[in-house]
Structure formats: C-alpha cells, structure tokens
Structure 1
Amino acid sequence: MSRTDGFLLHHSLVVPQPGFNARTAFMDEDEYFAMPENAARVRMFADAYKEGKYVPNILVKVIGGVAYIRDGYTRKRGLNLAIAEGALIQKIFVTEMKGDDAEQALVVINGNNGAPVSVLSCAVQYQLLESWGWSIAEMARRSNVTPEAVRFALSLLDLPLPVKVMIQKNEVSATTALEQFNEHGNDVVEILAEAVKTAKAALPVKAADDSKSGEGEGANPAKKKRALVTKKHLKATAAPKMNKKMVTAMHTSLSGLTSRLDSITPSDDGQAFLMKLTSEDVALLRELAGKLPQLTPKGEEKNENQEELSLE
C-alpha cells in the first residue's frame, strides 16, 4: 500500500459494506442501480475510468484491514463495469475516512463527490444521529439545512414502506407523499399506486421507452428528473369532513371524558382501566356513533355547514 493523494489499493480490496449504502435505502441495491439516472452515472464513471479521465477518490473506512466504501458506491460499480469491458486497471486511489460513525453519516448526507442524496436517504442518517443524541439544531447546522428540513426528512420515516419505495424511485415526490399520507392515512398506498399507474399510462411512447432503456432525460447524470406523479394524476378526493353538529357532539363527549381522567382506576394486573360513565356520557357517545356514517363521501363538494376538525 502506497500513499500520495490517498492510498493506492488493488481494486478488489475496495469493497461495499452490506446495508451501508444509504442511497439504496428501502430498495434492493440492484434495483436502485438499474434506475435510468443511476445506470447513466455508472456508465459515465465506467467511461471515465476506461479513458483515463479524473474520477474523485473513493472514500473508504479501513476496518480490520478491509477498505469498506463510505462514499463512492456508484464509482465502484463504474470501475467494475470498465474492468468487465476490458479496461486494464489494477489499482485505484482511495481516501481514508477520518472520524467516527457520526462523521460518516454526515458524509452521506452532504453527498460528497456524488449525485444529490434523496431526502429519505438523509432521513435514515438523521435517525442514526438522533439515536446518538444529536439535536435537530446540530444536525441542521452540520448538514447546511434548516431545522424544518431535518424534521420534514424524519417525518418521512413514518410513511408505509411501499410509499418510501415510490419516493426512492422518483415516482412520487416526498412532499406529495407526506401530504397524501397526512390526509388519507394508510390508504395512501393504494391512492399513490393508482396515481403512478395513471402517470405511466399517460407517458408518450418514446418517453416510456427511454425510461426503460436509460436514454432521454434520465440519462443525464447531472440533471435530476421531476417526480413522475403530479397533482393532476391524483384524483380530487377530500378527506372526510364533520359537520358542526358532529364536531360539537365530539367536543362535548371528549371534554366530559377527559375531565374525569383522574378518576380512572387500573385493574389488578394493570392491563385495563375503568372509568365510570354517566347516562349522559353514554347518550352522547351513542349519538356520535350514529352520526359517523354521515361523513361526507370523498369527492363531494364541501357544504357551507361543514368545517375542518382541528385537534390543536
């Protein structure tokens, strides 16, 4: 092993560490690199290696004598492709990662020498930092974003897995996914899947072919495509509304119940709790239960006597 701008290693000694590539979060790694924009970047690096052009050093962490990739998974794929196509490359320069696991997480978030990192991939790293005691403010400062951006990223981790995959595939934007989830709950999976299907069906034939072959807009590694699904692909559905009578009934019932929380008594095993209800409480709850089926069907125009229910 020699040292100049980095360490010179045989390419076979530079290896990925399973589960560490945050860019492929919530996706199969081969599926991720098969995406047109990612396949295009692999090809770009392969050509650069074959032509002897400059390629930034792969960043590694040496553990037990093994150089594990920390930043440069796409470059390594490009290198492997170049060698498979006949390039006579034996050794490459790498730079050793300094710092602890938190510093390595920041390298991923800041996307050193690589394509922009998806907000979900950042969220995975923020979650790690949070588990190590980092505050939102510190994470924001070290990754050059606002605290609101960090909170937004972390909120995406609550999305159902199929929706996370849609975001990673750039089929749905993170903002659209979260908005739909907040409005429709777990129904968002079916809603967005249908929207993706609609959006793909509306693609021109050439655009659809390009998205499969890696040609067209997706082949430009420097250009990030807009998410496939837009608002026009989402059906004009509205979250169920409650009219004023229903809101009043719910408010009265909940107020009456919450005012007696101190009177709740636990069972002997602590697994159940008992609260005495008055006849008025029961009547109000039954009235509310009877009104629930009257929720406005999705898509129906809002009535002037309806209002949003705020729990703030």
Structure 2
Amino acid sequence: MPPPSLSNFNMDLLVPLHALLMERSVTKAAERVEVTQPSMSTSLAKLRRHFNEPLLVRDGRRMVLTPFAESLVQPVTEMLEAIREVVGANAAFDPTTDRRVFTVTASDYVAIVLLRPLLREIDTAYPHVQIKVAPLNHGMVDQLRRGQCDLVIWPPMIQDKELETFSSATLFTDEFVAVVDQDHPEVGDVLTSDQLCTLPYVQIGGPQPTIADTVLTQLGLPLRAVAATDNFTNAACLLPGTRMVAVIQRRLFDQLGPSIGLRTVALDVPLPRLVESMYWHPRNTVDPAHRWLRERVLRLCATDLPDRPHDGPGPPRGARPGG
C-alpha cells in the first residue's frame, strides 16, 4: 500500500497540532503560537476532520488527549524539530532584535538568586526576549522532553535516571543555614541538634524533600514540624516573631533575611553543599538562541554568583535529596 500523499494534509496545521498535543487546551495552544482562540478552534476542527478523530476530549473539568492523539505526540514533535533544524540551518540569533520566549523551570530560591538578576539584565539590554518562570513539578522531565520548557534548574544530587539523559552544566554552589527570628529568646550563636529537635520546625517540600531535610532525617533527628510549605521563601516569611526555625540557602537568606528580621545560626549538624545545575534537551544544544540563553546564565553565575569557599562534608551515602 503506497504511503499517504502529503498533499492530503495542510502543512499549516502542523504547528497548531503540536501546540494542541503539548498544551491539551485550545486556549493555551492559542497562546503558545500567538493566535486567537477562535483561530485555534478552527484549526482543531480541521484536524478532527482530517484524522476523523476528536483528538481532545473532556474529562471532568479538563481536556485530555485521546489514545490516538497521544500516539502522535512523539512523531509530531520529532517532525517539527527536524523541520526547524533544516529551516534554521546556519541561522543566527540577535537578542537585540529577535523575539524569543524561553521557559525556565526552577525553584523560588533559584528564581530569586539567579533568574531575577538575569531578568534585570534582559529587561535592560534585550527587550524582545521574554523568560517564563515555571515552578518545579513532578512532570518537569516530561515537559523538558516535549519542548514545553527550555531549561530545568535542579540540584544534580537528585538521582533521576531520566534527567541524567539530558545535557547539563553546573551553575553555582551554596550552603544551608539555620534561620530564626532575630530576637529569638532561646537560640544563641549555635543551634545544637537537641535544640533543633525541640524547637518548632518549618518543613519544606516540593517534588522531593529538600537536601537539608533529607539529611537531617537520615541522621535520625526527630524534627518537630509544626508547619509545612512547598517553597523556601514561604518558610523564611513564616519565621519572624515566632519560635520556629527553618533551614534555607545562604544566598536566599542574604536576599530576604535581614529585611524581614531574621538571623542565621550556626548548626552543629554537618550539612552538604548545595549544587545547582541546568538541564536541557540535547536537540537544543546547537540552537543559536538556546545557546545564547545558556551562555548568559553561565556568565551571570561566574560573575555574580561565585562559589563560596567551603570544607563541609558531602551528603550521606545513599541520599536521594532534592533542593
């Protein structure tokens, strides 16, 4: 049986098809390719007629892909990437005139200490470049694979076999510090492990427990968690005027702590250094715009975020933390 002719398919529908497969929403697909929602609805109707298949169906309050549409995700993504490589061969990227939207998945900590200065620089020198900051989530590896985000910034200490298959580069290091209210009546210059276990503790969670919380648990310290939050900034903001303690990154404390009435305390428990790396899909390695973004991030880390000297120990054997 001869292969179907390409003349039977409107190639102008390829980009809307990919957007619908990625976003699983007419509204978000329209935003992704910068068209109106009615225009995207028209494209979906044409695609449904071509495939004689609904592609997107309602499941409760959300839209989901049909099994047939799921089977199209990988081949359509690979086809678009191949077309982009051909069309963009030898193409240059001029950030002063070219428009580009990058999506970076990162924690609130990374957003404050790294992405905020990056955005300040971009706003001044490259007004046509936009950075979308997405929160860390359980689907971030899949989003990176599907091209829904350009960079994931995450500690390489995480043992994720899928993430290890992507290209990566180390960005900067930091240290964890105990943080309390500046007038905390029970804590002096050093916080002992016994005190740490008796004081009310703010636990921080996300896709995985933080590196610090993981190590403290592995050391067998029975922390008395009275509050839990999904990011480091919230944890810091909960502390002023209370007896609570949290463990956050030094660079984040430098940005927030003094202004909200916090101080750091030395811990008699050894904690590992935090290392942050960026991950990207290998298909973007030679893309001029993507390479420009990575170079800006690396240059910023080298100049504004130099590594702090340290002699602290590494994490306990077998640790599987996130940060």
Larger radius of gyration: 1
Choose between structure 1 and 2 for higher RCO, CA contacts under 8 A separated by at least 6 residues. 2
Please tell me the TM-score bracket, short chain as reference.
under 0.3
Q: How high is the TM-score relative to the length of structure 1?
A: 0.27
- When you count helix as a share of all residues, which structure comes out higher? 1
- When you count strand as a share of all residues, which structure comes out higher? 2
Q: How high is the TM-score relative to the length of structure 2?
A: 0.27
